[in-house]
Amino acid sequence: MSHTDPKFKDERESYEKFLSKSLVIPADKAKDLATEVIEKFLPIKRFLNDYNPEYKCSPSPIIDEAWHALLLFTEFYQNLCGSRFIHYNPMCEFDAIEEKAGRYNATLHAYRNLFEQIPDSDFWPEQYPGYGEIKFAPIKIKFQMFINMLTGKTVPMSVLDSNTIGKLKTRIRNVEIPKEKQTLMLVDTEMLLK
């Protein structure tokens, strides 16, 4: 389902209303929270190839609540996941605080690198609850991407998690495709970044 599809818009609005009522927050804050889950956290999970069973990233408590609420919208959530379902494991709540804080650190690191911005502290606090300030130690995650070119050929490309969308598009342009003609897809989901 495309983000421009009317059904997507209707389902997203229902999710936002549910967040507002269930978390008792204003509608504009619920809309921002939905954006953080749908357009930031889920793409981070895909980017880190964090599907199941080894969890590599963790959300903040408010993002976790909103993600849990999103799971109640089963069809919408399945469509957001695309061809690779992103599982939710409530047992992670019982992991050691150091383990959760480490995954949270990886999430914030990926957020900063992937979106080239500092996460909104209303949703992503610098301190993991009960742990203290997060230190941003350099984390290098290397993975292989496959770029489908306009000519039909597929080009493998090794990238680090620290590569931004802009840097990635420049590398692709240097191979074959001008930046303005590129559309980045992450496991069947169009990245909402230019």
pTM over 0.75: no
For 100, what's the count of Cα atoms within 13 Å in the CB-facing half-sphere?
19
pLDDT of residue 136: 47
> In the structure, what pLDDT confidence band is assigned to residue 194 with cuts at 50, 70 and 90?
very low
Which candidate, 40, 63, 51, places its Cα nearest to that of 110? 40
- Span 20-30, pLDDT tens digits: 999 999 999 99
pLDDT of residue 131: 67
- Span 103-139, pLDDT tens digits: 888 899 889 888 888 999 999 998 777 766 555 444 4
Separation of alpha carbons 100 and 122, rounded Å: 19
* One-letter amino acid of 13: E
- Span 65-92, pLDDT tens digits: 999 999 999 999 999 988 888 988 888 8
DSSP three-state, residue 148: strand
Question: Which helix (H) or strand (E) segment is 142 a member of?
Answer: strand 142-148
- Phi, then psi, of 60 in degrees rounded to 5: -70, 165
Q: How is residue 189 annotated by DSSP? A: E
pLDDT of residue 137: 47
Which tokens in the block code for residue 95? 């992991």
110 C-beta neighbours (distance < 10 Å), count:
24
Asked if 112 and 105 touch (Cβ cutoff 8 Å), the reply is no
Question: Quick check: 50 pLDDT over 50?
Answer: yes
